[in-house]
């Protein structure tokens, strides 16, 4: 098959029982999906010689979903996003990038990851790029590896923009589902005194720890945690909580997150597709939380949430 030179195919294969959940995850990247599911082919009602042999011999216990991504944008965020959402949903899948040579795909995105200005003063700079800092800028150098969070995805950009407004000097910050650690590092550079970052994925934690070390921010730590289960409260509650995850997970967190927030604390909730924003808002309101601000970008939204 020939692929358009301007697009690469991100294909994920899972066990058939997880197909519906995978479709929901992949639709967060793009609504134009290609689904390969041969389980419902009824050979009794088909003429076998009219069906492609590859379909007849296909494994009927698995299914695949594909999206097509422009090659001039780094797809590491998309891959990490899908991997993390599958992990959170309790299943695994085979991830392939088709249209990029297998031996190069893990690094080829670096050619398109350039310094990115976010908000008024944050600049996310790839670790391998030279960049001359301008007066008033805050530089965050990142090598996201295969963890979600380069700053190129709308959800990450929205939270970083909000961090500029809501990070107070000396604040204690909690980042749940930290990916590459980018949000905790940004908060530290904006003046937070202590940042605790957590992720369910050990690979993301390893990447985040490397980025934290390279950032020189000694007040940022990262550990493995399933949502809020192992979050450290020994130092007290938090002034600011970041959750750049996905609508379903934020809804699951809603009953518990208030216990980790000081009375005047702020929750920045992102990773929410606009179609599900009201559902998330309702879940937060039901727990005595109040949405005080909202940013939208290209079908995604981030919410600013405070205790009522």
Q: Looking at residues 290-307, what average pLDDT do you find?
A: 93
- The verdict on 203 and 292 lying in the same domain is yes
Confidence of residue 145 (pLDDT cuts 50, 70, 90): low
The answer to whether residues 86 and 158 touch, using CB atoms and an 8 Å cutoff, is no
pTM over 0.85, yes/no: no
Range of the domain at 105: 7-109
Predicted local confidence at residue 46, as pLDDT = 42
> Is 118 among the domain residues?
no
pLDDT higher than 90, residue 174: yes
Predicted local confidence at residue 143, as pLDDT = 74
Last residue of a domain, one of 76, 109, 142: 109
Last residue of a domain, one of 74, 92, 109: 109
Q: Looking at residues 217-226, what average pLDDT do you find?
A: 91
Last residue of a domain, one of 78, 94, 109: 109
The answer to whether residues 306 and 266 touch, using CB atoms and an 8 Å cutoff, is yes
Dihedral (CA of 256, 275, 182, 21) sign: positive
The answer to whether residues 236 and 215 touch, using CB atoms and an 8 Å cutoff, is no
CATH number at residue 254: 3.40.50.150
Q: Over the chain, what is the mean pLDDT?
A: 83
CATH number at residue 38: 3.30.70.120
Confidence of residue 127 (pLDDT cuts 50, 70, 90): confident
Q: Looking at residues 75-86, what average pLDDT do you find?
A: 82
């Amino acid at each position: 098959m020939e692929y358009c030179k301007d697009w690469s195919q991100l294909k994920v294969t899972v066990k058939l029982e997880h197909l519906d959940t995978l479709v929901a995850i992949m639709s967060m990247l793009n609504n134009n999906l290609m689904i390969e599911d041969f389980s419902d082919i009824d050979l009794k009602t088909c003429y076998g010689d009219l069906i492609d042999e590859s379909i007849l011999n296909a494994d009927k216990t698995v299914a695949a979903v594909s999206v097509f991504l422009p090659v001039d944008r780094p797809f590491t965020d998309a891959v990490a996003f899908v991997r993390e959402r599958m992990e959170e949903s309790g299943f695994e899948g085979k991830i392939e990038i088709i249209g990029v040579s297998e031996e190069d795909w893990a690094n080829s995105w670096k050619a398109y990851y350039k310094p990115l200005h976010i908000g008024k003063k944050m600049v996310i700079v790839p670790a391998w790029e030279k960049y001359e800092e301008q007066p008033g800028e805050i530089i965050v150098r990142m090598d996201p590896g295969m963890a979600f969070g380069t700053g190129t995805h709308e959800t990450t950009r929205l939270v970083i923009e909000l961090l500029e407004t809501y990070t107070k000097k000396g604040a204690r910050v909690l980042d749940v589902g930290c990916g590459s650690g980018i949000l905790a590092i940004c908060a530290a550079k904006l003046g937070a005194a202590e940042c605790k970052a957590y992720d369910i994925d050990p690979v993301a934690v390893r990447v985040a720890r490397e980025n934290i070390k390279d950032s020189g921010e000694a007040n940022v730590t990262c550990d493995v945690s399933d949502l809020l289960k192992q979050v450290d409260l020994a130092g007290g509650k938090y002034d600011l909580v970041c959750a750049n995850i996905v609508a379903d997970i934020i809804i699951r967190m809603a009953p518990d997150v208030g216990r980790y927030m000081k009375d005047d604390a702020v929750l920045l909730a992102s990773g929410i597709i606009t179609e599900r924003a009201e559902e998330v808002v309702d879940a937060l309101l039901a727990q005595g939380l109040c949405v005080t601000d909202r940013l939208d970008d290209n079908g995604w939204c981030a919410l600013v949430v405070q205790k009522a």
